Structures are given as structure tokens and as C-alpha cells.
Amino acid sequence: MAAMSTEPDQYDTPWKEAVERYFPEFMAFYFPAAHTQIDWTRGYTFLEQELQAIVRDAELGKRYVDKLVQVHRLSGQEDWIYIHLEVQGSAQAEFAKRMFVYNYRLFDRYDRPVASMAVLADDSTDWKPQHWGYDVLDCHMEIRFPVAKLTDYADQEQSLAENPNPFALVTLAHLQTKATRKDPQARFDAKWTLVKLLFNRGWTKQRIIDLLFVIDWMMALPDPLKKQLWQNIQQLEQEKNMAYVSSFEQIGMEIGMERGMEKGMEKGMEKGRQEGLQTGEALSLQRLLARRFGPLSPEIVTTIDAAPISDIEVWFDKAIDAPSVSDVFSV
């Protein structure tokens, strides 16, 4: 029997990819009440840098995803609002407090309603925080937020397999990844079943490839079983007159190359991360300044683009309540 890799199972990247690619379906599956109140025809926007500006100094714990999304409500109240989303991978005593802190920080900085919600992807069956607050001198402060607990789906495998929402299969893959952590053959069987379900959905080629990517990354297999799985997929394609496996194999090879190059490219990757962070921070500052003071001059844009992150962070904090754009850059 093939041995399972000693590396920990990968959850963060699959969750991130799935949430970003299929956010309306994510909301419909885990938070249906909220989904029905959002005007999806007006689109939605992920705000990575805005969230990082809020949480950079917080204790994060083990989590898979944290997202800030701008959406519009069907009610017409407010032009747009924020959804703060957490996918939490482990039980954590301070989690509910963190949700409270992030919520008020976001509201304080952007003066917009913030809806916080969480998917709890931990193994504990009795950890389900949904509120945090305090009472002092007749003053009551509290946040209550909806949660979706993945272990609650553990006895619903058949209904998950039949549910047309892609996050039913993502949930099933997550649960089966945990259940087969020490049994590679059982994981192969579970993964192969999920792949066949994908092909029977009647979905577009792109959606099938996207979810193959999520399942493949999440449910890692030893090389011999991985090769067997691809052979099975190729045979299934022939039976169904499809042609997706070449794309799936390319995804697998790219992932393998990225993992194999990680250690040898640490310095280069660190430089790339810093450059990417600087670019994101610069764009966030420019967006905030334009929102408060109108179009920016080319000189200001050039100054921000060339500045180190430390300067940009100082300007960002000053831009929140500065009376003019010149005051942001004053010493």
C-alpha cells in the first residue's frame, strides 16, 4: 500500500480559490439568508488590501481564509456594504472576540455597515462560537454573527453528493480529506467518487477544471495513486466524450513544480511578496485618497508608487481624517 505523504493536508489555497471563483454559490450554500438579500446583478468586489490594513497586527491563529467583500443590498439601504468572512481551521478561544474586533475596526475605518460571518472547518463538534460582548455600567456591547459548521454536515454525505451547489462537493472533499488522513487507499476511493460526481453534473468545462483543482490540491495522494487517478479520469473522459484531463494534468504539474521550487526560491519569493505588498498598499492608498479628495495628480501617484511600505502605512492612517490631500503628506 502506498504511504501517505508526511506533509500536512492543504486546505488554505483550495478554500481561497473556491471562495473567490464562486462567491455567490458560497453564500447560497453556507449563508442562504444573507444570499437572498444581496443584489448579485450589481457584482461584488474582494478588498484584500483594505482587510490587511485592519488585521496586520492581530493574532490570526490557524485559519484558511479571511476575506472582505463589497456587495450591494436588494433593499437599497446604503449604496454598498461589507461582508467580512472567515474560514477558521481550528478551535480558538479568542475567535469570537477577534470577529468583534475586526467588525468594529472595519466600521470605524470605512464608516460602512459590516456583516461578519464564519465557516468553522475545525474537527471539534462542540465548538461553535456565534457571539461576543460585554456589559459594563449599564452599557451593553455585543456582536452576533452567523456560522456554518462543517462537522454538522458529516452525516449528510448523500445529500451533499446530490446537491448541485459546488460548495456541497467542496464540503464533502474537506470532510473526506480529514477522515482519510491516515488511509491513502480510502482517500483515493473518496476522491475518485468525487471526480465522477463532477463529471456527472453537466457543468461547463471551466467549472469542472476549477473544482478538480480544488479537490486535487485538498485531497493529496501518493504519486502511484495520483497516476492511477489520472488514468481513471482519462478513461472516464473517453466514455463521456470529454477532454479535460490534459488541463487537469497541467494543473497538477504546475502545482508540483511550484512546490518543488519553493525552497530554492525563498529569497526571490520573499522579494516578490514584498513588491506585491508594496503595490497593493500603494493602490489602496490611492483609492482612499481619490475617494476622499477626488482625482489625484500624476505627481502624487508617482510619489506613492515609489514610496516604501512604511511611508505608505503612515500616509494611509493620516488619510482617514486629514482635511486635505496635502496634509496627508505633510511632515
Q: Give the count of beta carbons closer than 10 Å to the beta carbon of residue 306.
A: 10
Segment among 50-54, 64-68, 251-255 with least mean pLDDT: 251-255
What is d(CA 213, CA 254) in angstroms, rounded to the nearest whole number? Answer: 11
Cell numbers 498598499 correspond to what residue?
281
More confident residue, 295 or 131: 131
Contact 38, 3 (CB under 8 A): no
Q: What is the pLDDT of residues 304-318, one digit of tens each?
A: 888 888 888 788 878
More confident residue, 256 or 152: 152
The CA angle 118-5-180, to the nearest 5 degrees, is: 55
Residues 6 or more apart whose Cβ sits within 8 Å of residue 245? 230, 233, 234, 237
What is d(CA 66, CA 16) in angstroms, rounded to the nearest whole number? Answer: 9
Contact 254, 20 (CB under 8 A): no
Residue 34 has pLDDT above 90, yes or no: yes
The CA angle 30-36-40, to the nearest 5 degrees, is: 100
Q: Which amino acid is at 75?
A: S
pLDDT reported for residue 240? 75
Closest by CA position to 169, among listed 203, 190, 194, 192: 194
Contact 253, 21 (CB under 8 A): no
Q: What is the pLDDT of residues 208-231, one digit of tens each?
A: 888 888 888 888 888 888 888 888
Closest by CA position to 171, among listed 293, 282, 14: 14
pLDDT reported for residue 64? 55
What is d(CA 71, CA 82) in angstroms, rounded to the nearest whole number? Answer: 6
All cell numbers assigned to 279: 503595490
Q: What is the pLDDT of residues 98-138, one digit of tens each?
A: 899 889 888 888 888 899 999 998 888 889 999 999 999 99
Report the Cα 121 to chain-centroid distance in Å. 13
Contact 121, 64 (CB under 8 A): yes
Q: What percent of the chain has pLDDT over 70?
A: 79
Contact 11, 121 (CB under 8 A): yes
Contact 146, 86 (CB under 8 A): no
Contact 84, 50 (CB under 8 A): no
Q: What percent of the chain has pLDDT over 90?
A: 29
pLDDT reported for residue 252? 55
- What's the pLDDT band for 271 if we cut at 50, 70, 90? low
Q: Which amino acid is at 38?
A: I
- What's the pLDDT band for 38 if we cut at 50, 70, 90? very high
- Computed over every residue of the chain, the mean pLDDT equals 80
The C-alpha torsion from 276 through 17 and 57 to 312, rounded to 10°, is 30
- Residue 222's alpha-carbon distances to 8, 172, 247, 311, in angstroms, are 13, 20, 20, 47
Q: Give the count of beta carbons closer than 10 Å to the beta carbon of residue 297.
A: 9
What is d(CA 118, CA 167) in angstroms, rounded to the nearest whole number? Answer: 15
pLDDT reported for residue 273? 52
Contact 309, 278 (CB under 8 A): yes
More confident residue, 77 or 44: 44
